[in-house]
């Protein structure tokens, strides 16, 4: 798959087929891709917990459902809300749950989320759906207890992974020009130079 196609079509897949097992070979491949991401001082702080046990996934799903029920304020777009509620109700049924962690008291998201994005892009390349969830942080202690995570370890996100029940495609996004400035704040950006041209 072309890299840019993977980037453009890696959208949140919240509906995953619970009956379609993900091969260990593919789990390892997406994790290997995650390890190739950059990190501060090449510290490589991310540690991954891969959860495939049915009962452990069920327990994590219960925590997520409890956190999610209090986190939806009813103002979300209706379609997104349905999709989010589906995940709240069914996270524990995803064939694989991957938890990103680091050791130490200080959060280092800049060394974590590039690895998470690599993982999600690699999953897309294998036809696997993922989404990034952080709602469990409302009760991180419960997740730590279920997974035997020490107090000195922080969790960042839970990534459900499996074969999607939905279709791939580009999610709606604002045009680049609407979210980009040139040289200073609020100065509109336009892109007219072609590769190899000298803008000066």
Q: Is 178 inside any structural domain?
A: no
Collect all residues with Cβ–Cβ distance below 8 Å to 122 and sequence separation of at least 6. Answer: 29, 30, 32, 33, 34
Least confident of 9-13, 62-66, 81-85, 93-97: 81-85
Q: Is 68 inside any structural domain?
A: yes
Look at the chain and report how many structural domains it folds into.
Answer: 1
Question: Mapping DSSP to helix (H, G, I), strand (E, B) and coil, where does residue 85 land?
Answer: helix
**How confident is the model at residue 165, as a pLDDT?**
95
The most confident of 63-77, 159-173, 185-199, by mean pLDDT = 159-173
Q: Taking residues 67-81, what's their average pLDDT?
A: 68
CA distance linking residue 135 with residue 88, whole number of Å: 9
Give pLDDT tens digits for 135-184: 999 999 999 999 999 999 999 999 999 999 989 999 999 999 999 999 99
Q: Is 182 inside any structural domain?
A: no
Helix, strand, coil content of the chain in percent (nearest 5): 45, 15, 40
Relative orientation angle of helices 54-71 and 140-147, to the nearest 10 degrees: 180
Relative orientation angle of helices 24-35 and 113-125, to the nearest 10 degrees: 140
Q: Is 69 inside any structural domain?
A: yes
Q: Is 183 inside any structural domain?
A: no
Q: What is the span of the domain harbouring residue 133? A: 3-169
pLDDT at residue 116 greater than cutoff 90? yes
- Give the pairing of strands 47-51 and 153-162: unpaired
CATH number of the domain to which 107 belongs: 3.40.109.10
Q: Supply the DSSP symbol for 40.
A: G
pLDDT band at 66 (very low <50, low <70, confident <90, very high): very high
Q: Is 186 inside any structural domain?
A: no
Q: Is 33 inside any structural domain?
A: yes
pLDDT band at 80 (very low <50, low <70, confident <90, very high): low
Relative orientation angle of helices 78-90 and 54-71, to the nearest 10 degrees: 140
Least confident of 19-28, 67-76, 91-100: 67-76
* Burial classification of residue 160, based on how many CB atoms lie within 10 Å of its CB (0-12 exposed, 13-18 middle, 19 or more buried): buried
Give pLDDT tens digits for 10-26: 999 999 999 999 999 99
Least confident of 31-35, 80-84, 112-116, 160-164: 80-84
CA distance linking residue 111 with residue 124, whole number of Å: 21
Q: Is 197 inside any structural domain?
A: no
**How confident is the model at residue 198, as a pLDDT?**
81
């Amino acid at each position: 798959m072309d890299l840019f196609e993977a980037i453009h079509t890696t959208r949140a897949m919240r509906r995953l087929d619970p009956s379609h097992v993900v091969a260990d070979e593919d789990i390892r491949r997406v994790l290997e891709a995650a390890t190739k991401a950059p990190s501060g001082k090449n510290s490589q702080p991310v540690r991954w917990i891969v959860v495939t046990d049915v009962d452990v996934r069920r327990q994590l799903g219960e925590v997520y459902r409890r956190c999610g029920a209090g986190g939806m304020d009813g103002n979300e777009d209706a379609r997104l809300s349905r999709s989010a509620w589906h995940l709240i109700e069914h996270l524990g049924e995803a064939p694989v749950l991957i938890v990103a962690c680091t050791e130490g008291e200080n959060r280092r998201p800049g060394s974590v989320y590039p690895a998470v994005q690599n993982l999600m892009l690699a999953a897309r390349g294998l036809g696997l759906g993922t989404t990034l969830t952080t709602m469990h942080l409302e009760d991180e202690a419960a997740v730590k207890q279920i997974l035997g995570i020490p107090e000195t370890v922080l969790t960042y996100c839970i990534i459900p992974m499996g074969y999607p029940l939905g279709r791939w495609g580009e999610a709606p996004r604002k045009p680049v020009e609407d979210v980009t400035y040139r040289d200073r704040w609020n100065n509109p950006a336009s892109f007219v130079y072609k590769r190899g041209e000298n803008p000066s």
